[in-house]
Structure 1
Amino acid sequence: MKTLLRLLLSCLVLGSIACSAQDLRSRMEQMKTAYTASGSIVLLDGQTLVIEPNMPAPVCALPREEDGKVAWYRYAFPLSSITVPLADVDESLMGEDRVFTNPDAPIAYKPGDKGDAVMVVVVGMPGKKFRALIYDREKLQHLGPGPHSGSDYGQVQDQVEAFGLTFNDTTAAHEFVTALRNAVMMAKTQAMAH
C-alpha cells in the first residue's frame, strides 16, 4: 500500500512539473511575440532567455515634475544582448514608463503629453547580475552600411543589475511584462521544487 501511495504521489509531482514547464514555455512564447517589433528573444533553456534588442536602442527621456518644474531624465540601454536567468529577476520591481524618444520632446512638451514609447525596466534580485553585451552608441552611429563586427561598434561584455527594453506599442509592453512576471514566478516555483 505504501509503495502504491508513493508511486501515485510521484506521478502527481512529475505531472505538475511537466504542466508547469509547458506553461513556462507558453509564457516565453508570449514574450517573444510581444517583443518582435523591438528585437528578438531566444530561449536558451527552460529557465533562461537571451534578449537581443534592435540596435541602436533609443535614448528615452522621462519627464518628472520636481518643485513645480519639469525635469527630464534620460536613459539609454545600449545592449547587443542580455542573458536573463528567470529566477534571477525580481518580479516585484518590474516597471513600465511612458517615455519620449524624440530628441526635441523637452522643447515641445506640454504637461499631460504622453510619450511615444514604453520603457520596461527589469531588475535583478539582490546580489544578482545579468550578463550583457553592450556597445558604444557613438561608434555604432558612425558606421556605414554593411556587415560589421562587434569590435567595430565597441561591443564588450558587462554585468548589469538592471536593464531597460523599449516598446513602441503599449499593449505589447504590457503583455511582455505580464508574461515575464508569470514566467519568473513559475521558474522560481520550479527551482524550489527541485
Structure 2
Amino acid sequence: MKTLFRLFLSCLIVSCVCGAQDLRSHMDQMKTAYTASGSIVPVDSQTLVVEPNMPAPVCALPRQEDGKIAWYRYAFPLSSITVALTDVDESLIGEDSVFTNPNAPSAYKPGDQGDAVMVVVVGMPGKKFPALIYDREKLAHLGPGPHSSSDYGQVKDQVEAFGLTFHDAASAHAFIYALKNAVILAKTQAMAR
C-alpha cells in the first residue's frame, strides 16, 4: 500500500511540474503574440500584468442594424491591467475585426475587413480585474518627453472586461489560443490544491 501511495504522490508531483511548465509556455506565447501591441509581465505562475501601448487606438466596429450599418466605438485606455488567470471566463473570450482609421465609417463598403483585431476578455461572474486607466484627452495634449502618471490622469479602477488590440489576426489568434489554454491549466491547478 505504501508503494502505491508513493507512486501516486510521484505522479502528482510530476504532473504539477509539467503543468507549471506548460502554463509558462502559454504565458510566453501570449507575450510573443502581444509584443507589437504592448507587453505582458508574469507576476507569478498564475497572474499577468498586461501593459498596452499608449494611447490605445479607438476601435470602430460596424454592425448591421435594421438594414443599415451602425458604428460602435470602443477605447480601452489601460496603462496596465492585472489578470489572475483563474478569474478569466475562457468561454467568453471574443474577437472582432475593427477599424482604427477615423475615416473608416465614410469609406466603408459592406464586406470590408478592419485593419486590427480587438480581443475582449471577460471575468468570471463577480470577479474584477485591477487596472490603471488614463485620460485619453490629457495624454493627447502632452508634449514629448517623460511625464508622470498624474500628467495623463492615471487612476486605479476595477473592470469586469477589457479589450486588447492586435495589428494582425494571426497574433490575435495565437494570443487567444495561449490564453484559453493557460486559463484552463490555471483553473485545473487551482482545483488540485
Please indicate the TM-score interval, normalised by the length of the shorter structure.
over 0.9
State the 1:3 CA deviation: 1.2
C-alpha distance in structure 1 between counterparts of 2:97 and 2:185, whole Å: 28
The amino acid that maps onto 1:67 is D
Name the residue aligned to 1:60.
59
C-alpha distance in structure 1 between counterparts of 2:21 and 2:169, whole Å: 27
C-alpha distance in structure 1 between counterparts of 2:113 and 2:11, whole Å: 49
State the 1:71 CA deviation: 0.2
Name the residue aligned to 2:12.
13
C-alpha distance in structure 1 between counterparts of 2:168 and 2:58, whole Å: 16
- SS in structure 2 of the partner of residue 32 of structure 1: helix
C-alpha distance in structure 2 between counterparts of 1:111 and 1:4, whole Å: 67
The question of 1:47 aligning with 2:46 is answered yes
The amino acid that maps onto 1:63 is P
State the 1:69 CA deviation: 0.2
Structure 1: stretches of 5+ with no match in the other structure: none
C-alpha distance in structure 2 between counterparts of 1:109 and 1:4, whole Å: 69
Name the residue aligned to 1:76.
75
Name the residue aligned to 2:88.
89
The amino acid that maps onto 1:76 is A
- SS in structure 1 of the partner of residue 56 of structure 2: coil
The amino acid that maps onto 1:80 is S
Matched length: 193
- Provide the TM-score with structure 1 as the length reference: 0.99
Name the residue aligned to 1:167.
166
C-alpha distance in structure 2 between counterparts of 1:67 and 1:46, whole Å: 47
C-alpha distance in structure 2 between counterparts of 1:24 and 1:169, whole Å: 24
State the 1:4 CA deviation: 1.3
The amino acid that maps onto 1:125 is M
Runs of 4+ aligned structure 1 residues displaced above 6 Å come to none
Alpha-carbon deviations, 1:39-84, whole Å to 9, x = none?
0000000000000000000000000000000000000000000000
Equivalence map 1:113-124=2 (5 Å): 113-124=112-123
What is the RMSD of the two structures over their aligned residues, measured on CA atoms?
0.4
- SS in structure 2 of the partner of residue 184 of structure 1: helix
- SS in structure 2 of the partner of residue 120 of structure 1: strand
C-alpha distance in structure 2 between counterparts of 1:8 and 1:178, whole Å: 33
Structure 2: stretches of 5+ with no match in the other structure: none
C-alpha distance in structure 2 between counterparts of 1:175 and 1:96, whole Å: 12
C-alpha distance in structure 2 between counterparts of 1:171 and 1:109, whole Å: 23
- Provide the TM-score with structure 2 as the length reference: 1.00
State the 1:156 CA deviation: 0.1
